[in-house]
Amino acid sequence: MANVGDKYLYFMEETDGTFDAANDGYCVPLSVFRGFVSASTTTLELQFDSMLGTGADIAAVDKAVLTITADKHKEVIQALVQRFNAHPHDDGFIVVSDDSNSVFADTRITGVALTVTAAA
């Protein structure tokens, strides 16, 4: 559940700028972030409490899988944590990966794939 004054993380996986399919865009409060998981040499997974799951279904997670420079997981994690903890005078909106506009929170991020999971 989002908290008052929470920061929000924004992801857009489409490169054509249109929201024409389910889950092309995803904006989630930082307060539901669970952590990072390395998925391969070039991917870093961010896991969140599921938007479609229920409080009792702790296994359901939403995922934003970032495509990153090979073997730069630690550097990307450090950069993202610094952005997440930035001074509270920012507007609370953090673009992590906007493929459509080529805007990324770190130069080692090149794209994202989103998975929004319903409760089992």
pLDDT in tens, 48-95: 988 876 556 566 789 999 999 999 999 999 999 999 998 766 788 999
- pLDDT of 119 reads 55
CA distance 13 to 5: 26
Nearest Cα to Cα of residue 10 among 117, 93, 99: 93
Q: What is the pTM of this model?
A: 0.84
Count other C-beta atoms under 10 Å from residue 76's C-beta: 21
Cα separation, 99 vs 77, in Å, equals 19
Task: Give me the percent of the chain exceeding a pLDDT of 70.
Answer: 80
Mean pLDDT, rounded, of the chain:
86
- Contact between 96 and 81 under an 8 Å Cβ cutoff? The reply is no
Confidence of residue 9 (pLDDT cuts 50, 70, 90): very high
